[in-house]
Each structure stands twice: as C-alpha cells, then as structure tokens.
Structure 1
Amino acid sequence: MKLLVLFFSLLFPELHPFHSSVTEMSYNAKEQSWEISIRLFHDDLEQTLSSNLGKKYRMIPGDVASEKVLDAYLRKHFRFHAGKQITTPYRWLGTEQQQEAIWVYIEIPTSSDLAGSYLENSLFLDEFEDQTNLVSWSFQGTKKSYLFRKSQEVQQLSR
C-alpha cells in the first residue's frame, strides 16, 4: 500500500490550491538600502521558467546558472518605474530553499524612500490565471501592502 501511495504521489504531485508570491521590502537606514525578499513556490517557479525557456527547467538554489536564469526572469517581471523611465536598480544577493518555497534576496542601494515610484510585479501572471503577488513595504515605521494581479501589474508606491 505504501508503495502505491508513493507511486501516485510521484506521478501526481500535490498541487497547492492557490498561486501567490510574497515580497517583503524593508528599508535599512544604516546601510541606505532596500532589503527585499521574495518567496516563490518552487513548483510554480520551475513550471513558469520551463514554459518561458521552452524546455524543462530545474531550480537549484545557490547554483550560479540557475540563479542567472531566475535573475533574468525577475528583471523582466519585478521592476521599478521612475516616471517614464524603467529601472531595475537592484543587486542580486542569492536564493535559499525553505521547504516548498524559494526565497530570492535582492537589494536596492538608495537613500530614497521610493514614494512616487511605480512597482511592477507581474511574476507568474502569464502562467497562472489566479496568481496574486503580495508586496509589503516598511519604511521608518510606516507599513503598506499592495496586491498585484492580472490587470493590476503596476502600482504607485506611497507612504
């Protein structure tokens, strides 16, 4: 019986009932930078990148080649707009596996609070109809949250 359960779990891996990412942005005044962590479901990430690449993709946290592919995807789907100019001023710090999730760490060195800028978060929106991307922003004791989904991929950041 255990073998049968194992076989079906490998053949039909359990799918989570929703598709979402969670991003936490905190301003570090001492370092004058935004510290950003993005939590992505591992299976959603691999499915999306496989679709984008047109071949099977396997994410290996810490692997330089894997992280390069993810960084390129992120730079297309997680961007900051200052006026009409699109910028992606962040530094890639790396990834970490944590149970079913991949944590992505990036940083934006700036003395600005980014208020008035626009954030685009279209992660996985092309792949999953029900995808939502939650962004929580913390700056000097002020906290804000934004919910991104299809037709609401870009939002203005405010204090």
Structure 2
Amino acid sequence: MYKLKYILLLLCCACYTVKAGIKHPLHVSTTEINFNAKDKSLEVSCRIFSDDFEAILAKLYKQKIDLGNADMKTEMDGLVKKYLLSHLQLKANGKAAVLNYIGFEIDHEATNIYLEVEKITAIRSVEVNDTILYDMFDDQMSIVHVVKGSMRKSTKILYPEKKFTANF
C-alpha cells in the first residue's frame, strides 16, 4: 500500500509539472486490466502522458500527430490502435489473448486508451507484456494493475523489464 501511495504521489507531481508548463521528469504509463465476470471479458485501459505519446507516434509514423484534433480522430484512432497492439500483449490463463481496440480520449495531460478481450469465462492468470514508450525512453516505468473482483495485483515494470504475471 505504501508503494502505491508513493507512485500516486509521483504521478500527481508529474501532472502538476505538466500543467505548470514544465517538462515532466517522470516517464510513466499505467495499464489496468479488469476481469468482468458478467460480460466474460477483460477490460483494459492504458493512461499515457499525451505529449510523450504524441512524440512517439510522430517519431514512428513520420506524420503530424494531434490526438486532440477532432478532424483527425479517425486517422489518430488508426495510429493509436497500431501502436498499442504492437506494444501491449496479454495472455489469459496461459493463452494469447486478442485485444480489441475500443478507442481513446484525452483527459487533461493524459491519453486514455481502451481495449477489450472477449470470451474469457474465468481467469486464473493474466500475463502482461508491456513495452509502451520503451522505444522513446530508457527510464520508462509501466504501472500495471490486474483486478478480479475484490482482488487486485499491482506492480511497476521498469525498463528494460516488460513482463508481469498476476495469478489468482
């Protein structure tokens, strides 16, 4: 619990520095995976600092990136989907899971991306392979939460590590 409070404090400080116009010193993304027993699915959300995310998309895809521009929404959806599906993979109960891209939204200084894995009747383990922004920063930290009912497994993955397995 102490580690989680510390990480939340760091995220708040990072958000403040971005809002104040100061380049944030923390390179972090957050991925949360929730097992929805009713819908028999894994609901996945990723939160990435928008300036970092736009920078890596521009670097990789060599085009103008503006995630907040409504006129470019369809084009940006394609790039966000392409990037996320190549930098986030899941295994559910030891089997590769197919991530379906739902969409993204801008929330202040962050971009929230939503994905889903369908037809998961029960969950015993979730393996996460996360390399979000690894191609941009060698001090990248990925915070991963896997939630099943009232049970929550969390960790931080520091570059160059990329895997976390939550067993229930």
Q: 1:141 aligns with which of 150, 162, 165?
A: 150
- 1:82-93 correspondence to structure 2 within 5 Å: 87-93=96-102
Identity of aligned residues (%): 25
Residue 107 in 1 paired to residue 116 in 2?
Answer: yes
Q: TM-score, normalised by structure 1?
A: 0.81
Aligned Cα root-mean-square deviation (Å) = 2.2
Q: What is the DSSP-based 3-state SS (H/G/I as helix, E as strand, rest coil) of the residue aligned with 2:51? A: helix
Extract unaligned runs of 5+ from structure 1: 1-12
CA distance in 2, matches of 1:125, 1:39: 15
Letter aligned with residue 24 of structure 2: H
Match of 1:70 among 74, 80, 96: 80
Q: Note the 1:1-159 alignment, pairs <5 A.
A: 14-60=22-68, 63-81=73-91, 87-109=96-118, 110-113=120-123, 115=125, 117-159=126-168
CA offset digits 1:29-81 (Å, max 9, x no partner): 11111111111110000111111123442224761210111111111110024
Q: Distance in 2 between matches of 1:61 and 1:25?
A: 28
Structure 1 pair 24–82 and aligned structure 2 pair: CA distance change class (3 A): closer
Q: Matched residue pairs, number?
A: 145
Letter matched to residue 28 of structure 1:
N
User: Which whole-Å CA distance do the structure 2 matches of 1:59 and 1:74 have between them?
Assistant: 14
Cα 1:153–1:96 change in 2 (3 A) is same
SS of aligned partner of 2:142: strand
- Structure-1 separation of matches of 2:65 and 2:124: 34
Residues 78-112 of structure 1: per-residue CA shift (max 9 Å, x gap): 00246997x45121111111100111111111113
Counterpart residue identity of residue 112, structure 1: A
In our comparison, the structure showing a higher alpha carbon Rg is 1
Q: When you count helix as a share of all residues, which structure comes out higher?
A: 2
Give distance in 2, aligned partners of 1:152 and 1:84. 19
Q: Structure 2, unaligned stretches of length 5 or more?
A: 1-20
Contact 2:127/2:163 (8 A) holds in 1: yes
**Cα deviations across residues 104-126 of structure 1 (Å, max 9, x unaligned)?**
111111113150x4211000012
Counterpart of 1:5?
none
Matched residue SS, 2:144: strand
* 8 Å CA contact 1:90, 1:106 repeated in 2: yes
Q: Which amino acid aligns with 2:51?
A: D
